[in-house]
Amino acid sequence: MSTGTGRIAAVCTVAQLFPVAASGLMSGIDKRPVDGPVRLLPHGVLGDVQGDREHHGGIFKAVYAFARETREALAAAHGLDLPDGSFGENLVTTGQDTDETVIGERWRIGTAELEATAVRNPCGTFAAWIGDRRWGRHFTAAGRAGAYFRVLVEGRPPPATRSRCCTDPSTASPSGTPSAGWTRSRPATCSTGLR
């Protein structure tokens, strides 16, 4: 397996709850980078919360990863200030396009091991958080949704750590619906996977 350049630039958890008028729920979408190591557990990052457990969180959407470069490009294209955690992501990557992740692909991050399970389907809460009711359409039209993961091995992902793909995604079983950027035709060396 080759060594790549992908990194975890930040690990984010909820900073404060965001009231969603349409549902009457409080959302955990407002995430910010945390200082120091945190634990990844089967239901997500220790200290993180989801307001709508029917559609967010759980063991198959325990951790959400999004590429900083992609978020910054979307921010520039729409004239928005979107720092790390703005999309509700737990893991901010650099040098790794999370939209190229394959369902079933595994990432080792510090002492934790994750498995990609699904792409994000943006909800009304995301649009309300951004302040643009059309945001879901912009987000999906760009084909840049990031990746959800389940936690296979609990562990600690130190901030700004090197991480790596540690399985052959060509043998992975799809456990979600592929969308733009998700493919199963990746080499066994995970040459474009996070390392």
Domain ranges of the chain: 7-171
The pTM is what?
0.81
- Distance (Å, rounded) from C-alpha 154 to C-alpha 183? 27
Q: Which residue has the higher pLDDT, 141 or 43?
A: 43
Pick the residue with more confidence: 21 or 173? 21
Tokens of 110: 């510090």
Average pLDDT, the chain: 79
CB 1 within 8 A of CB 169: no
Residue 162 has a pLDDT of: 53
112 pairs with which residues across the strands?
A: 109
What are the tokens at 106? 């595994």
Answer for the pair 63, 98: CB distance below 8 angstroms, yes or no: no
Q: For residue 187, what pLDDT is reported?
A: 30
Lowest pLDDT segment from 20-29, 91-100, 125-134, 167-176? 167-176
Topology of domain 7-171, CATH: M1 Pyruvate Kinase; Domain 3 (2.40.33)
| Strand boundaries in the chain, DSSP class E | 7-14, 18-20, 25-27, 31-33, 40-41, 44-45, 63-67, 91-94, 106-109, 112-119, 147-153, 161-165
Looking at the predicted structure, is the pLDDT value of residue 153 above 90? yes
| HSE toward the beta carbon, residue 141, CA cutoff 13 A | 7
Examine the pLDDT at 176 and tell me if it is beyond 70. Answer: no
The answer to which of 39-48, 90-99, 154-163 has the lowest mean pLDDT is 154-163
| pLDDT tens sequence across 50-64 | 766 676 778 999 999
> Quick check: 101 and 166 in contact, CB under 8 A?
no
- The more confident residue out of 21 and 57 is 21
Mean pLDDT (whole number) for 107-123: 89
- The proportion of the chain whose per-residue pLDDT surpasses 90, expressed as a percent, equals 39
Quick one: pLDDT at residue 64?
Answer: 94
- Average pLDDT of the residues in 32-60: 84
Cβ contact 142:135 at 8 Å: no
Contacts of 141 (CB under 8 A, 6+ apart): none
Mean pLDDT of 57-78: 92
